[in-house]
């Protein structure tokens, strides 16, 4: 049985049918959107229609949407572009200590360019202390704060509106990585006091390799790459019109079914969280119990090699993720789990999707305890054999 639980902590979902149809239809719109001939105007029309759809889905305006190649570029453009545009005002950037590796990557580059990055820790559930965040935001020379809407491993949702309000009161720009939440939770960029918001199409049923950055009206941004007049000079390079059309169709589809789908997925992941703790020997479940994404479950299992467990589950049709695919190998400890002081930082993540059902969850909960017990027994036997081999003779 191959379950839709394969979705590797929800990092990607299959391309939904409306998105696939939109992409195929857009393949005939081959004109350059900057061209004034008929094919160019046709492509431009589709581009702007898609821009309006995506803006509507997150409570923005069409001219606030910048198309990119995906979530990582959107994060980099939002953070680096956001601080470089106002560099004369300071050098400080404030981020949480459990952000996605894309945030850490761009911050490392900015540090080498003379910026200072302050990290705010999170508690054991993965929630950032708002008072600690506020204290860092208010320090002189702070240009931008970035806080992930919901963590990519734990699924924990942050107190976005409060942090955004505090940032704006301090005159600090506010960026959020909303790749995990767009299309899954309601987003109203204005109400959250957001200046820059990053999206990735493949997280909500669109194709990989296309994303968007919301840039609030009136907020300046330093473009990169640059060299032409596309995207209102905020991001150069010919737009991926078929991918963008598919992204717009995907987010519209996701938003239209959001409430019912979130409730259904919450029920499934609640069963998984409870069942893993009750039935899997040596298991730990991480992430906030209530302030969490409906589709994610993060857990660890003691005395089991992560790669071996992944392969054992894969052979049985369950495509579970381990570690952050963007930051290391499956057997490496999770930086997020290390930051929150997890007892076992070798985490696994399960993401349920649109076609996951109760039978899939039952199957995983019936399979996982036996697989874990078998692997733990092998680990113990190996350790005992190694101990006998290493012990000195009489």
Write down the pLDDT at residue 73: 97
Among 2-16, 355-369, 370-384, the range scoring the smallest mean pLDDT is 2-16
Write down the pLDDT at residue 393: 53
- HEC string of the chain equals CCCCCECHHHCCCCCCHHHHHHHHHHCCCCCCCCCCCHHHHHHHHHHHHHHHHHHHHCCCCHHHEEEECCHHHHHHHHHHHHHHCCHHHCCEEEEECCCCHHHHHHHHHHHHCCCEEEEECECCCCCECHHHHHHHHCCCCEEEEECCCECCCCCEECCHHHHHHHHHHCCCEEEEECCCCCCCCCCCCCCCCCCEEEEEHHHCCCCCCCEEEEECCCCCCCCCCCCCCHHHHCCCCCCCHHHHHHHHHHHHHHHHCHHHHHHHHHHHHHHHHHHHHHHCCCEEEECCCCCECCCEEEEEECCCCHHHHHHHHHHCCCCCEECCCCCCCCCCCCHHHHHCCCCCCCEEEEECCCCCCHHHHHHHHHHHHHHHHHHHHHHHHHHHHHHHHHCCCC
How much of the chain, in percent, has pLDDT values that exceed 90? 78
Catalytic site positions: 326
Mean pLDDT in residue range 120-145: 97
Domains defined along the chain, listed by start: 17-256 (3.40.640.10), 258-390 (3.90.1150.10)
Summarised one tens digit per residue, pLDDT across range 198-255 is 999 999 999 999 999 999 999 999 998 888 889 988 999 999 999 999 999 999 999 9
pLDDT band at 354 (very low <50, low <70, confident <90, very high): confident
Mean pLDDT in residue range 319-338: 75
pTM of the model: 0.92
């Amino acid at each position: 049985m191959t379950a839709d639980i394969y979705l590797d902590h929800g990092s990607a979902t299959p391309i939904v049918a409306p998105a696939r149809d939109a992409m195929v239809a857009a393949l005939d719109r081959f004109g350059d959107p900057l061209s004034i001939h008929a094919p160019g105007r046709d492509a431009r029309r589709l581009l702007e229609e898609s821009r309006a759809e995506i803006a509507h889905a997150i409570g923005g305006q069409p001219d606030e949407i910048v198309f990119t190649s995906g979530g990582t570029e959107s994060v980099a453009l939002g953070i680096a572009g956001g601080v470089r545009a106002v560099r004369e005002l300071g050098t400080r950037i404030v981020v949480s200590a459990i952000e996605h590796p894309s945030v850490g990557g761009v911050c490392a580059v900015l540090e080498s360019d003379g910026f200072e990055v302050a990290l705010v820790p999170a508690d054991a559930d993965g929630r950032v202390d708002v008072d600690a965040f506020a204290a860092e935001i208010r320090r002189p020379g702070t240009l931008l704060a970035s806080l992930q809407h919901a963590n990519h491993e734990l699924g924990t949702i942050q107190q976005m509106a409060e942090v955004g309000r505090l940032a704006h009161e301090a005159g600090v720009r506010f960026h959020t990585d909303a790749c995990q939440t767009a299309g899954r939770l309601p987003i109203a960029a204005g109400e959250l006091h957001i200046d820059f918001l990053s999206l990735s199409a493949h997280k909500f049923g669109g194709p990989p390799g296309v994303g968007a950055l919301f840039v609030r009206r009136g907020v300046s941004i330093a473009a990169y790459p640059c060299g032409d007049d596309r995207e209102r000079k905020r991001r150069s390079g010919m737009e991926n019109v078929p991918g963008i059309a598919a992204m717009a169709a995907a987010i519209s589809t996701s938003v239209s079914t959001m409430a019912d789908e979130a409730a259904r997925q919450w029920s499934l992941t609640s069963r998984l969280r409870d069942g893993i703790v009750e039935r899997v020997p040596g298991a730990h479940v991480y992430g906030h119990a209530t302030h969490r994404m409906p589709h994610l479950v993060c857990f660890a299992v003691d005395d089991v090699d992560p790669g071996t467990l992944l392969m054992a589950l894969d052979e049985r049709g369950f495509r579970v993720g381990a570690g952050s695919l963007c930051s290391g190998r499956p057997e490496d400890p999770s930086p997020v789990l290390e930051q929150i002081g997890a007892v076992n930082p070798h985490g696994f993540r399960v993401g349920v999707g649109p076609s996951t059902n109760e039978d899939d969850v039952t199957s995983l909960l019936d399979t996982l305890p036996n697989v874990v017990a078998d692997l733990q027994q092998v680990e113990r036997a190996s350790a005992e054999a190694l101990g006998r081999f290493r012990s000195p003779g009489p």
